[in-house]
Amino acid sequence: MTTTENETKVETQGTPKEETMNETVESKKSDVKESTNENNSTPASPTKKTETLKPAITAHKKDFEKDVVYLYQFTRSTTIPSLSACCLKVENWLRMSGIRYENVDHKLRFKSKKGHLPFVELNGKEIEDSDTIIKELSKYFDKELDFGLTEEQKTTSHAFISMLNNHTGWIVRWWRYNNPREFLESAQLDIKRTFNSRFPNSILNFVFKLGFKKHLSDSLGLGRGRFTLEEIQESAKEDLKALSNLLGSKDYFFGKEPHLLDCVAFAHLAQFYYVPFDQMKGWIETEASNLIALVDRFKTTYWPDWEEMCSSLELNTHLPKKEVPADQAEPKADDEESKKKKCHSLFIINNDSPLFL
């Protein structure tokens, strides 16, 4: 027998009975203590339930579907899906990304918490500001329109998008704010239908123009309100020429496939082309015709329902048609409450937020 075996055997045989009994007692005490702790501990399931409680839904759309984007924007017009570049930009992005979305026919009754359009609701949560909407939805749905671009191309894209949003777009607003009557004619806008109101056209036109004049201060605050028409036109031409030079002979700004810059540029270029002011449309056709080709290409690809939409003024021509039985059709007669909402909506929109941005 080896030394190690002897030591092990001796150690085992030499263990006193008292030590064995003590170990048994201590073991039982430990078991009882653990059992007591388990019985006294708070069950895990109630804690989990408390942690996973969903916040109260504050969305306007109560019966929303999961992962469907609900878009709140201005009404359609006969010349363009949206007279707001910001609204058109968001809807462009949704179509390019293949996201399920639905326009909410809110009759201009709702605005974001900060008083603007557009805004969206996703799973009961409100997201406002067009750039923030695109950023948040890109993260949630893992959709990156600039995938594959180099860092230099992304930098170029950022610079031009900033120009479009913060300079070119304001040129369009400046003209509309200063020329409300001409804007109504150019947009072929049915103002009574737009505001869902029974007021006479004379009153609606007055309030509409008053609202636009109120927001002239926005242009003045940025310094653009003090420019002459010729200076504004020249500034617009410089922006558009820069875009034209970047596009060149390519299908889109960075090649064969459209990216975020194409999405944003189309939203702004469409305002110049489909709701023209002064001589800008003619200038684009002669001096920057490749931009018109871009607009046509983008429109054909992502807006196949354009004509139907502008003729019917329906918000959701991209969705399958739903057949409503005659016995379930909504009554045409308005009750007193709906009449009040229709009348009130006019003043809400004009007094609190700029139109068609």
User: Which DSSP string corresponds to 109-155?
Assistant: ----TTS-S-EEEETTEEEESHHHHHHHHHHHHT--TTTT--HHHHH
**Is 49 contained in some domain?**
no
**Is 12 contained in some domain?**
no
Classify burial at 230, counting beta carbons within 10 Å of its beta carbon; exposed 0-12, middle 13-18, buried 19 or more. Answer: exposed
Tokens representing residue 158 in the block: 């950022």
Considering the chain, what is the average pLDDT of its residues? 79
Q: Which of 149-158, 177-186, 322-331 has the least mean pLDDT?
A: 322-331
Distance of CA 67 to the CA centre of its chain: 14
Q: Which of 11-20, 182-191, 219-228, 278-287 has the least mean pLDDT?
A: 11-20
CA 250 – CA 22 distance, rounded (Å): 88
Q: Determine phi and psi for 155, rounding to 5 degrees.
A: -65, -45
- Give the strands of the sheet with 125-128, arranged side by side: 101-103, 69-72, 119-122, 125-128
> pLDDT-based confidence at 225, cuts 50/70/90?
low
Q: Which of 206-215, 240-249, 333-342 has the least mean pLDDT?
A: 333-342
Please enumerate in sequence order all residues whose Cβ is within 8 A of that of 172, keeping only pairs 6 or more positions apart, or say none: 85, 268, 271, 272, 277
Nearest to 106 by CA among 66, 65, 59: 59
For 115-132, the pLDDT digits (tens) are: 889 999 999 999 999 999
Instruction: For residue 199, give the DSSP letter.
Output: S
**Is 249 contained in some domain?**
yes
CA dist list (Å): 344 to 107, 108, 198, 199, 348:
11, 10, 11, 11, 6
CA 280 – CA 305 distance, rounded (Å): 26
Higher-pLDDT residue of 93 and 51 is: 93
Residue 330 has pLDDT above 80, yes or no: no
CA 17 – CA 204 distance, rounded (Å): 103
Give the model's pLDDT for residue 102. Answer: 98
Q: How many domains does the chain have?
A: 1
CB 123 within 8 A of CB 66: yes
Residue 154 has pLDDT above 60, yes or no: yes
Residue 306 has pLDDT above 70, yes or no: yes
Residue 174 has pLDDT above 60, yes or no: yes
> pLDDT-based confidence at 215, cuts 50/70/90?
low
> pLDDT-based confidence at 162, cuts 50/70/90?
very high
User: Which residue reads 């009882």 in tokens?
Assistant: 32
Higher-pLDDT residue of 33 and 72 is: 72
> pLDDT-based confidence at 288, cuts 50/70/90?
very high
**Is 329 contained in some domain?**
no
Higher-pLDDT residue of 304 and 53 is: 304
For 37-70, the pLDDT digits (tens) are: 444 444 444 444 444 444 445 678 888 999 999 9
Give the model's pLDDT for residue 188. Answer: 85
Q: Determine phi and psi for 23, rounding to 5 degrees.
A: -65, -40
Give the model's pLDDT for residue 176. Answer: 87
Give the model's pLDDT for residue 227. Answer: 77
**Is 161 contained in some domain?**
yes
**Is 2 contained in some domain?**
no
Can you list the pairs that 130-138 forms with residues at least 24 positions away whose Cβ atoms lie under 8 Å?
130/86, 130/87, 130/89, 130/90, 131/165, 133/90, 133/93, 134/89, 134/90, 134/93, 134/260, 137/69, 137/93, 137/94, 137/97, 137/99, 138/97
The angle formed by the CA atoms of residues 257, 262 and 267, to the nearest 5 degrees, is: 145
Instruction: For residue 329, give the DSSP letter.
Output: S
Please enumerate in sequence order all residues whose Cβ is within 8 A of that of 296, keeping only pairs 6 or more positions apart, or say none: none
Distance of CA 37 to the CA centre of its chain: 52
Check which CATH number belongs to the domain holding 280 and give it: 1.20.1050.130
**Is 107 contained in some domain?**
yes
Residue 24 has pLDDT above 80, yes or no: no
Percent of the chain surpassing pLDDT 90: 50
CA 32 – CA 114 distance, rounded (Å): 61
Higher-pLDDT residue of 175 and 5 is: 175
For 70-80, the pLDDT digits (tens) are: 999 999 999 99
> pLDDT-based confidence at 20, cuts 50/70/90?
very low
Tokens representing residue 200 in the block: 């006479």
Range of the domain at 138: 69-319+336-352
Give the model's pLDDT for residue 211. Answer: 66
Residue 323 has pLDDT above 60, yes or no: yes
**Is 47 contained in some domain?**
no
CA 168 – CA 212 distance, rounded (Å): 18
